[in-house]
Structure 1
Amino acid sequence: MSEQKDIQHSRPRWHYSPRSTWMNDPNGLIHYAGTWHLFYQSNPSGSTWGNMSWGHATSTDLLHWTEHPVALWHTDTEQIFSGSCVFDATNSSDLGTADWPPLVALYTAHYLPGSERLGTQAQCLAYSLDGGSHWTTYPGNPVLDRGSANFRDPKVFRHGDQWVMVAVEAEHQHVLIHTSTNLIDWTYRSTFGPAHAAGGAWECPDLFELAVAGSDETRWVLLVNLNPGGVAGGSGCQYFVGDFDGTTFTPDRVVGTSLDRRPGPDDPTLRSYDWLDFGRDCYAVVSFADAPDGRRIVLGWMNNWDYAYDVPLTGGRSIMTIPRELELVPLKGGYRLRQRPIRELPGDALAHYELRAGDRVSIGGVALEYRNGVLSLDRRGAGVEDFHEAFGSRQWAEIPGNPDTVQVDVLVDTCSIEVFAAEGMVTISDLVFFR
């Protein structure tokens, strides 16, 4: 790795980025009382990973964000790792009142020296009675403790008359499902995995029901983020489509499991799995709770643990992807996720291309090419690519059906590029240092 000076740049126009502190996984995504809340892994004291707490930002349109004071602070013996938020509308937790039910955050406590739980991770709870501005730590924490060193990232949602939590045993590549009637007392129900890409730690799961385009049908989608072992190298997000009966997730297909911790990006087994994004920089993807109009909106951290500590950007080492709307599309042999930028994004924010076989266009030094049914994005010519040996790279994905032409929508911001091809059937997201 060669030495690089930090690159000064204007703040992203469309993407959330904290002004001065480190940020990684999005946490606690929820729409509440007309406001979108984004909590996230934050180091309140610096621009590198550490002192993990929950930062907080809000928006009315998912594009313009207001940064708020830290929501959940670390302590000397406990770091606040990833998790989720729910609105406990019936006050099932008895942490609010019938007239003023609480917002409830469930998060992973990572215990440090000085704690009797040193070396373990467990699920904890905090609640807010003022719409997310101030939080009270539940005195009975943790609410779910397996005595494990790598049990983390609870995503909680309402299903019928119960709450469901999906969390991971990260190093075993397991998604564990628990249920509760009150968000405090949890009962183990089932385990999913390992399956498909399983060569790295499984993190930040999400499970939700999603409409199938053009029909009244719905299926369940399980997101599983993975590091290392992603399709483009390092961090990535895969997904499974299947059924969920309230206790058990059953995938439609499992086509073998790769336990290679660092398979190459051209590995055919890895390529046979379902990937949310084929770029290098889309990780820890989770969805917003209670999005209006039945929308399912996801957000990811736009970075990769292969080089996240070294990204030479002042104020932009940490950004989120553009929020994306999801739906399922039936294809031969199964279903595929379609992603589009949120409808709030102005139409003129996207550049539109129609690429024929053999076409190649340059966007600020980034090469976008369509050849032999494969769309590729090559950022090796965009400058300062040698700040880390893993950064200068070419990402690619097959376009379903290998059409003669492919429609491509491109969102460019100050330090990022996101490609939505074939009506959102393929996405490629990368950090870029534009010349």
Structure 2
Amino acid sequence: MTGLQSPQHADRSFPRLHPRPEAGWVNDPNGIMFVDGRWHVFFQYNPGSARHEDIHWGHTSSADLLAWEEHPVALHPRPGTTDGFGCWSGVGVVDGGLPAVVYSAARDRHGRSEVVVVHGSADARDWSGERLVAAALPSDERVTMVRDPFLFELGGRRWAIQGAGRSDVGGALLLYGADDLDAWTEEGYLLDAEAPVVSDLAPCEGWECPQLVQVGEDWVLIMSLWLDGQPHRGVAWALGSLTIDEGTGRPVFSARRTGLIDEGSSFYAPQAVQSDGADGQPARVLLWGWAQELAPAGVRGRTQAEADEHGWSGMLTFPRELIVRDDQVELVPARELTALRAEPVDVTALPDQAEVVLTGAGTVELVLGGSAEQTVWQGELSAGDEVRVLIDTSIVEIHRSGHPSLTFRAYPSDGEHYALRHDAGVTAEAWSLRVPTPAA
């Protein structure tokens, strides 16, 4: 196996700290689980080109969320079968003491998929086992799109949801009983877009990549708002309660507040995983997102032709922790990431891998400087705010207390570098970030 963070890639915009293969297309994070002392992260992957087609599951793992090891492709589509059009998004779970992955298997491009389960080896590295259909197409004829299974436990049972689009309401979440991981039972709907509070979300054709996790006494539902053939409507969260209805015995989610979890131009399709502390850290919810090749307005982007030329497209964000603060859902950098800090640097001439921490009050601006200056982000800090800006060449991740995160893409050319300007009332500290060395 090889490390995924080689500093030798010919393309300056290629990330050095975010794990991804040297070439090919990458999108949604999938199947995240802690097994055999390591975090295993899978992802949507086309090894053959920088385009969204022929989707496999790529695979990487890490003992510390810093240094990542590449593994062979975990899942390959099988022409003429349930997943002939691709092994699409899904989750990981430890079932009966062994890891398993659960994913959307698509026969064609029409958005209706079956749920397939594969049981893996004890170390989560071998996924050659039999592929079992756990849930066929839903019986409700109003369903226009279904994909992206997610598992959770409540009331002593295991349940599952799938993201869906319905002809009468748009976004919806199908509900299943999944005590038997290999054979699910349809249980109707957990939620749809006409439910109280969530009805305030932007209209869309379907909810993709649903995630349902517990933070303290609260439950957080995350949904990626999908419009076919159009820019996505963002990633929404709903904060509320999850209980068992005494009459039906089924889960009921009641939302009390909603918002967007990341307002950057590039963030979509995150996956959240409930960590029980087995990794040596306090119990928490970890989350990764897909950082698309979409730059903010006024910043040089990368066309599909340029992605084809360079041979790669897309990456995953840094790992983040999902927290609830003042009845708002926020993402903060995973605590391990502070270990990447190396030497202090000048904020007016940042290296390609850098972190900046801002406190105080006043205006701040992150620019990509050169012959034509581009403003990547501008913000107004208030007293008590803290902002962390993480840069890895072509990805910028900004976390500001009390606000949605911001994920941007930018592509520095020769002679260009990042620089941060700020008012006198703002204090800035900055460090270069080191490329971690995998343990022997």
- Please give the TM-score of this superposition, normalised by the length of structure 2: 0.73
Q: Is the 8 A contact 2:266 2:293 kept in 1?
A: yes
Task: Give 1:153 deviation, angstroms.
Answer: 0.1
* Alignment of structure 1 residues 413-424 onto 2, 5 Å: 413-422=392-401
Query: Would you say 1:327 and 2:312 are equivalent positions?
Result: no
Q: Which of 22, 27, 41 is residue 24 of structure 1 equivalent to? A: 27
CA distance in 1, matches of 2:190, 2:71: 37
Task: Give 1:362 deviation, angstroms.
Answer: 3.5
1:69 aligns with: 72
Q: What is the total number of aligned residue pairs between the two structures?
A: 356
Residues 1:245 and 1:311: Cα distance change in structure 2 (over 3 Å): farther
Residues 1:245 and 1:285: Cα distance change in structure 2 (over 3 Å): same
Q: Is the 8 A contact 2:365 2:377 kept in 1?
A: no
2:178 aligns with: 180
Q: Deviation string for 1:240-261 (max 9, x for gaps)?
A: 011112533433336xxxxxxx
Residues 1:381 and 1:363: Cα distance change in structure 2 (over 3 Å): closer
Residues 1:317 and 1:301: Cα distance change in structure 2 (over 3 Å): same
CA distance in 1, matches of 2:213, 2:332: 18
1:301 aligns with: 290
Greater share of strand: 2
CA distance in 1, matches of 2:172, 2:302: 25
1:132 aligns with: 124
2:91 aligns with: 84
Q: Is the 8 A contact 2:135 2:185 kept in 1?
A: no
Q: Which of 404, 407, 414 is residue 386 of structure 2 equivalent to? A: 407
Task: Give 1:146 deviation, angstroms.
Answer: 1.5
Secondary structure at 1:123 match in 2: strand
Tell me the amino acid that sits aligned with residue 328 of structure 1: V
* Alignment of structure 1 residues 12-411 onto 2, 5 Å: 12-77=15-80, 78=84, 79-88=86-95, 91=96, 101-112=97-108, 120-138=112-130, 140-146=132-138, 150-170=145-165, 172-189=170-187, 190-194=189-193, 195=199, 196-211=201-216, 218-228=217-227, 234=232, 236-246=234-244, 247-253=250-256, 273-292=258-277, 293-303=282-292, 310=304, 312-313=306-307, 314=310, 317-330=313-326, 335-346=327-338, 348=341, 350-354=355-359, 356-357=361-362, 359-365=363-369, 381-382=373-374, 403=382, 406-411=385-390
Q: Deviation string for 1:200-227 (max 9, x for gaps)?
A: 432100001112xxxxxx1000000123
Task: Give 1:418 deviation, angstroms.
Answer: 1.0
Q: Is the 8 A contact 1:355 1:408 kept in 2?
A: no
- What percent of counterpart residues are identical? 25
Tell me the amino acid that sits aligned with residue 184 of structure 1: D
- Unaligned ranges ≥5, structure 2: 1-9, 194-198, 245-249, 296-300, 342-353, 417-440
Superposed CA RMSD? 3.1
CA distance in 2, matches of 1:315, 1:15: 17
Residues 1:86 and 1:396: Cα distance change in structure 2 (over 3 Å): farther
2:411 aligns with: 433
Secondary structure at 1:224 match in 2: strand
Residues 1:19 and 1:304: Cα distance change in structure 2 (over 3 Å): closer
Secondary structure at 1:345 match in 2: helix
- Unaligned ranges ≥5, structure 1: 1-6, 92-100, 212-217, 255-272, 367-379, 383-392
CA distance in 1, matches of 2:210, 2:108: 24
- Report the more deviating stretch, 290-299 or 235-244: 290-299
Task: Give 1:356 deviation, angstroms.
Answer: 2.9
CA distance in 2, matches of 1:136, 1:184: 16
Tell me the amino acid that sits aligned with residue 191 of structure 1: L
Task: Give 1:151 deviation, angstroms.
Answer: 1.2
Q: Is the 8 A contact 1:223 1:237 kept in 2?
A: yes
Task: Give 1:35 deviation, angstroms.
Answer: 0.4
CA distance in 2, matches of 1:413, 1:395: 15
CA distance in 1, matches of 2:178, 2:302: 36
Tell me the amino acid that sits aligned with residue 161 of structure 1: G
2:351 aligns with: none
Residues 1:54 and 1:291: Cα distance change in structure 2 (over 3 Å): farther
Task: Give 1:119 deviation, angstroms.
Answer: 7.2
CA distance in 2, matches of 1:31, 1:325: 15
Secondary structure at 1:146 match in 2: coil
- Please give the TM-score of this superposition, normalised by the length of structure 1: 0.73
CA distance in 2, matches of 1:421, 1:140: 43
Tell me the amino acid that sits aligned with residue 188 of structure 1: E
Task: Give 1:58 deviation, angstroms.
Answer: 0.7
Residues 1:337 and 1:365: Cα distance change in structure 2 (over 3 Å): farther
Task: Give 1:82 deviation, angstroms.
Answer: 0.5
Q: Deviation string for 1:400-420 (max 9, x for gaps)?
A: xx8457332111111111111
